[in-house]
Amino acid sequence: MTSGFPEIWDTRAFGRALDRAFNSLVAEWGETLELIFLPVLRFITGLERGLQFLPWWMVLLAFCLATWAAARRWQPVVAVGVLLVLLGLLGIWNEAMATVALMLAATILSVLIGMPLGIAMARSDGLRRGMLPVLDIMQTLPIFVYLIPFVMLFGPGKIPALLATIVFAIPPVIRLTDLGIRQVDPEILEASRAFGASSRQQLWTVQVPLAMPTIMAGINQTTMMALSMVVIASMIGAGGLGYQVLQGIQRLEVSRGLIAGLGIVLLAIIFDRIAQSYGRRVQANLHREGN
């Protein structure tokens, strides 16, 4: 108690003031914030109910079609189909669909927010300088620090889980969009400018397509990080596979935790296959067109 850094200012009073400010924020704005995010919640629950309501073979078909659209090769399609059947055989179909809904919503929102941010960062050095430390903080701040405040602000359930997942998973898509666009060969840009392309045309017809493999790698990482958040998200009432893992841990039922954990791994492989084969195809196309 005597050693350590001298107490120069009253940290405890500061902490209390911070807590009071936060509590009044919750009291005044909590309900408004919850209402603002209600459409997002409807989207997730709609997606979840849709996935659980559809017969399993239709979901399987949809996944296989999406894989085909992304890969245009039959091997990944078969792999995704087999893995989904395995998921069903493990007896965790409904939980897996709840997890897929949350993860898809988090990924879609991350891409919708992250790609424009990444593009803006690539075009402005000032914004990049400001954003990089923010992204570093988002990736290193322990999740529990903001998880419970999110619950206080948005009410327990899927919304805080979704927001926490986005905070955790969005940095790769922002970073890699920025990186991908900055890596586009300046000579190609100069050539396109010589042909009279406007800055906007340059962005959409030259920079983004050329950066696509890198951006896809970012989206893939974001998906994986969103998936790795499901256990933590279920600690604030998000349900799904993570909830099964939690129950398994708490009841010391090794089997339950293991099966649900295996389910998460299967989902990770499925989404990784889809995203990677798409990225590979885009890259292959670029090279073909380049030659």
Partner 1 sequence: MTGTKRLTALAALAASSLALAQPAAAADCGTAEKITIAEMTWLSAAALAHVTQKILSAGYGCNAELMPGDTVPTATSMLTRSTPTIAPELWVSTVQAQWDEMQAKGNVYKASDIFAGGGQDGLWVPDYVLEQHPEIKTIEDLAANWQIFEDIQNPGKGRLYNGPPGWASEVIITNYHTALQLEDTFELFSPGSGENLKASIARAVAQNKPWVGYYWGPSDVVGKFKLVRLGMPDSDREKFTCLTDANCADPQVTGWAAGEVAVAVVSELKEQAPEVAEFLSKMQVPNDEISAVLAWGDDNGATAEEVATHFLQNNEAIWTTWVPADVADKVRASLN
Name the segment binding partner 1 (CB under 8 A); options: 12-20, 100-108, 191-199, 264-272.
12-20
Name the segment binding partner 1 (CB under 8 A); options: 25-33, 87-95, 189-197, 278-286.
25-33
State yes or no: residue 284 binds partner 1 (CB under 8 A): no
Nearer to partner 1 (CB atom), residue 87 or residue 164: 164
| DSSP H stretches of helix in 37-124 | 38-53, 56-71, 74-89, 93-123
Nearer to partner 1 (CB atom), residue 152 or residue 269: 152
Nearer to partner 1 (CB atom), residue 12 or residue 287: 12
Please tell me the distance from the alpha carbon of residue 268 to that of residue 228, in angstroms, as a whole number.
9
Nearer to partner 1 (CB atom), residue 73 or residue 251: 251
Q: Which residues of 267-280 are buried (b: 16+ CB within 10 A; e: fewer)?
A: beebbebbbbbbbb
Structure token pair of residue 263: 């389910």
Shortest distance, CB of residue 153 to partner 1, whole angstroms?
Answer: 8
Nearer to partner 1 (CB atom), residue 138 or residue 143: 143
Q: Other CB atoms closer than 10 Å to residue 62's CB: what's the count?
A: 12
Shortest distance, CB of residue 231 to partner 1, whole angstroms?
Answer: 10
Give the x/- contact pattern for partner 1 in 153-192, rule: CB under 8 A. x-xxx-x---------------------------------
Pick from 52, 94, 202, 247: which binds partner 1 (CB under 8 A)? 247
Pick from 10, 50, 251, 258: which binds partner 1 (CB under 8 A)? 251
Burial (CB count <10 Å: 0-12, 13-18, 19+), residue 2: exposed
The DSSP output letter for 236 is T
Shortest distance, CB of residue 112 to partner 1, whole angstroms?
Answer: 22
Please tell me the distance from the alpha carbon of residue 271 to that of residue 291, in angstroms, as a whole number.
31
Give the x/- contact pattern for partner 1 in 199-238, rule: CB under 8 A. -----------------------------------xxxxx
State yes or no: residue 261 binds partner 1 (CB under 8 A): no
* 240 Rama class: left (phi>0) / alpha (psi -120 to 50) / beta: left
**What is the distance of C-alpha 164 from the center of its chain?**
10
State yes or no: residue 282 binds partner 1 (CB under 8 A): no
State yes or no: residue 88 binds partner 1 (CB under 8 A): no
| DSSP H or E run through 7 | none
149 to 23, 145, 271: CA distances (angstroms)? 10, 7, 30
Shortest distance, CB of residue 106 to partner 1, whole angstroms?
Answer: 17
State yes or no: residue 129 binds partner 1 (CB under 8 A): no
Structure token pair of residue 288: 């073909």
Percentages helix, strand, coil for the chain (3-state, rounded to 5) are 85, 0, 15
Interacting residue ranges for partner 1, rule: CB under 8 A:
12, 15-16, 19, 23-24, 26-27, 30-31, 34-35, 38, 41, 144, 148, 151-153, 155-157, 159, 234-239, 243, 246-252
